Every structure is written in structure tokens, then in C-alpha cells.
Structure 1
Amino acid sequence: MPQAAQNPFDSLASLRGAVDLSGLRARAQAPQAPAGVPAGESGEQAAPGAYRADVTEANFQEVVELSVQVPVILALWAGYSPESQRVLGLVEEQVNRQDGAMVLGAVDVEGFPQIMQAMQISGVPAAVAVLKGQPVPLFQGPVEEDHLTALFAELLQLAQANGVTGRLGSAPGGTAETEQPLPPLHQEALDAIDAGDYAGAERAYRKALDEQPADADAKAGLAQVGLLQRLDGLNADDAQSLREQAAALPDDVDVQLSLADLDVSGGHVEDAFARIVAFIGGHFGPERETARVRLLELFEVVGIKDPRVAAARQALARVLF
């Protein structure tokens, strides 16, 4: 049975797009990739399956976020490795057979070597599953169809044991549901984020809220852009330094909140929430309100319907009242 491993994704926290963006949850319900991914030694190109996404820096966390619903299979391949292309095709066939019970994230390690480095994998073909944001090593090296069948059966058992039992929607015939266009200001915000223009994205979301104060997606998007702005430029050395500062300065609200931001971006949502709740419980005055406001913003980032948010709300109420 596959076993969960230490999370290697923390070093990706500084990547642009390492935070789920407003509207992406809905847009990612049936991920697809552009055609043109090599499928085998013949050089033929395969059309993407209904449950496949090509993973990039920009959509990495978007794909990983799906792991709270279904297992995500991150399969690593390269143009210089025909074997990795063959294995990728086998993995995609296995994923599509599950009819939405899992999703494939295909990682071109030539185009995005930092993803491979963060996963601590030295060569292709290789694959890692993700359940609730946590990696589960699957294989590294050549693999055959019968072994994949058994491996994925075990993975689905592990997913069920951990409450990951969702299914991604698809239209009849196995094709993904048609993606609905985003409202113009939301699209403007996402385009600005793709361009690294976080101030422009903030303006677009604020304008959307001015027009529709009850726009929940715009509110969440504004919180998410705020997190992206605070994380912008952070690298692995900065992250380690920040953790050391947080340990040495437990009463410094700015340091504690910065580390909470980092933990949310790296998938350690419960740790981030617990850190802020503990700070609120042990402090009074303006820093307590600063921490409370940040916690509410991070609730929006994670998603107000997320069970981790519900649990943190209860914990917050206990320390406030």
C-alpha cells in the first residue's frame, strides 16, 4: 500500500500561481490540457484525456488543490525519454478508466525542472500521487500496465480511508464539461495575475466588489491576491529564515502572520490556522485584531466551505468568547 511521504511541495511556495485563485476551483472541476503532448516513441501526438491537465508553475497548486476531492497523479515525463512518454500514456489510460475518480497532472520536466526538483525525483518516468495536499510516492522507472492497475487500486483504497471519495464531473462520452467564461472583471484579474501584475488584479477585484458587493468570488480573489502580494519574491532561504524568526519571536504579529501565509501557500493549512488562533488567544490589543483580520482573509483563500475553515472558526470562537 502506498504511504504518504513528507511534503516536498513547500519549496514551490514562492512560485507565481502557487495559491489557488478566485474562480479556479470551479474552472478546474474537469481539467483538460492543450493538445500536442507527445504520447510515445512513434512521435504521434495524443489529444488530452478528459481528466488530464498539463502542470505548469502557474497551475501547479490549482491541480494539487483537486486532491481534496480525488487523488491527483503527478506523472513526470520528458521529450528526451520515449519510455517516460510511453508510461505517461499508460497512466493516462488508467486515470481515464476511473471516470473522474482521479485526475492526471502531466509534468514536462524539461519545461518545468523546478517541479521535479521540489518533488525530489531524479529521473523519468516517475509518478507521485497527492491526497489532501500530501504526496504519496508511486513509482520511479519503467512500469507496466498490470502493475499500474494494482497500484491505482491500492491508491483508491488509501484515498477512501482518508475520506477522498469525490468524482470530477464529465459530460456524456467522457469529455469534460464545457468551461464557462468568467465575468469580465474576474478574467481581467486572472490575466493580471498571469502577468505578475498583482496591483492590477487587486484593482479588478475591487471594482467587481464595487459593482456587486455580494460577489463571493471577487472577495475570495481579493484575499488570494493579497496573499500572492505578500509572498511575492519569497525564496527557500527566506522561508527558512522566517521559520527561525517565528520560533524566536512568538509575540511578533507580523512574523507569525507571515509564516502563516507561507504555510497556507505550501498546503499546511491547519498549521497556519492553529498558529494564528493561538496568537489571538494569547494576545490582546491591536495585534489581536490584526491577527483576526488576517485569519478571516486566509479563510477566504482556502475557501469558506472547506472543513478546515469550519474547524478553525470553532477554535477562533473558543479563544474569543
Structure 2
Amino acid sequence: MEDVTRPDPRQSAALSAALSGAVDLSALKARADAAQQQSRRPAASAPGAAGATGGQSSWIIDVTEATFQADVVERSLQVPVVVDLWADWCGPCKQLSPVLERAAQAGGGAWVLAKVDVDANPRIAQLFGVQSIPTVVAIAGGQPIDAFSGALPEPEIKQWIARLLDALRDRLPGIRAAEQNAQGTEPEPEPEDPRFVAAEEALERGDYAAAEAAYQQILDAEPGNELARNALAQARFLARAEAAKPEDIERANAAPDDVDAQLAAADAELAGQLVDAAFNRLIDTIRRTSGSDRDRVREHLVGLFELFPPDDPEVAKARRNLASALF
């Protein structure tokens, strides 16, 4: 791996484009989880949480393969995490790192600087496909969103970070909270929507019909309300899951042409965390059916998809299989 003294703008742009949406940061999760269980290391859950090493502030942290999940991926759900990939033998890294550290200190927790020694943690460098160092990658919401390589001048670093914060301020709650705290003001809590409060209270007492009606009422007034749409899917599934039984799966296996049995079995499998089995069962049923039966199964499957984040890998695979079954 080579070091670079000045970045090639084309290389930085290509690196940023290659990283965007193309890096699976969960690759180190299993290793990180195992190491954390062994060491009983607490996960950092919010900006400003303890976790700095070597006397650095909690906004400047040394990250390893074992701590990557907690210190980078999980923190990036609240504030951007800027990953500085460096090595002790890299001259430009020694120019860039102090600049990033000063900027992180000045940010007051609006973003976190995660320093990664690539010699000690080669899998992290491989994860990002790093060809030269220093390389800097911005992570937000658990995914890489921007990157550059080379030792940029301090004014350009500040501009890059400012653009990053401006683009993410409305998406990551920790940015605005840190900025308000830095100004000596507490963030004002968002007022609770009484419609959602009523629906959630119905869910808590197990009145799924009332919760479904409440969420549907919100959607009738606001068809684009994704929070209500997802909550409605959850309420409907919880009502079905409460009635689901393990024997539903055996009954469906014995009667592959019974559509109602297949729908009930898929709910039972999903309630038992057998996600792939539930999806595959309904896709196989779609292949065997036609007309209104096929439409019922497809709608049921799409409703199950709504229980998961849009970028869930199992949902993405099932959507591809569904398209193949339909067309």
C-alpha cells in the first residue's frame, strides 16, 4: 500500500463513487460481536460516549476490527463518523491526521473521527478497497457516503466537513443536538403526535384492531406517511402472529395447494425468525398459483416486506425471486 502526498481529484471522486452503497459494513460484525462478548466491552451508543483511547477526546477514537461495529457503524446512526485510514510509516498521514483531530475537537461531537491503523487492522482497509493512504471515508447511517485520498490542506478539510454536516443535519439527530449543546442550549424535544400515541397505547395493551384502525386513519389523512404505513404493517402482522402456531407449518407442508395454510405457515415461520423460509414458501406458492390466489399471496408477501428496512438483504433477495416468479 502506497502513501500519497497530494490527492488526485479524479481518484478521490472515483473512490467516493465506488464506496457509495457498495460497501457492506456488516462484514466485520461477527468478529466484532465475538470479541466484545469475550472482553465484555460496552458498545458506544451515542456521540460523546466514553471510548477514546490514549488520552484523546471521545470524539477522536482509535478503532480496531473488534470495535468497528460499535464505534463506527452504530455511532454513524447518530452522527457522521469520519474514518482516517493511516499507518505509522506514511508521511502524508502524519500531516493529515493532526488536521482531522483539530477539526474533530472543534466540532464538539457533531461528528466523530475514527482512526484506523491499516497495518494492525488490514481487514478494515480491505473492506473499503483502499489502494493508498491516507484515505478518509465518511460513514452515515451505517453506510459510506463520501471519501477522498491524500493529505488535503486544512481549509479544504474544513469545507469538506461543513458540506458533510449540512447535507446530514436533518437526517442524523446527533448533529443538531451536539451543535446546540456546544452553544449551551438543550435541544427541544419534538412534540409527540397524539395519533401515534393512541395507536402505540393500543398496541401495548394488545388491541391490534384499534391500533390498525388508528394507523389507517393517519394514512387516510396522510397517504405518504411512511411511519404510519410501516406501523400498520407491524400491527397487522402482530395480530396474525399472536394466533400463529407451529402446527400451521406442518399443515401447510402437507397441503401445498391450500393457499390459506401457506399464508398462515409463512406468518408462523416469520414469527419464529425463519425469514428466508417464510419468503421462499410464499414465492413457491406464487409459482404454483394464478389469478386471485396468486394476487392474495403476492400482497401477503409484500406486506411482510414492509416489516423490514427497505435495504434489508433478505428482502432484496426475496424481491428478486418474486420478480422471477411473476415474470
- Structure 1 or 2: larger helix share? 2
Higher relative CO (CA 8 A, sep ≥ 6), structure 1 or 2? 1
Question: Which protein is bigger by CA-based radius of gyration?
Answer: 2
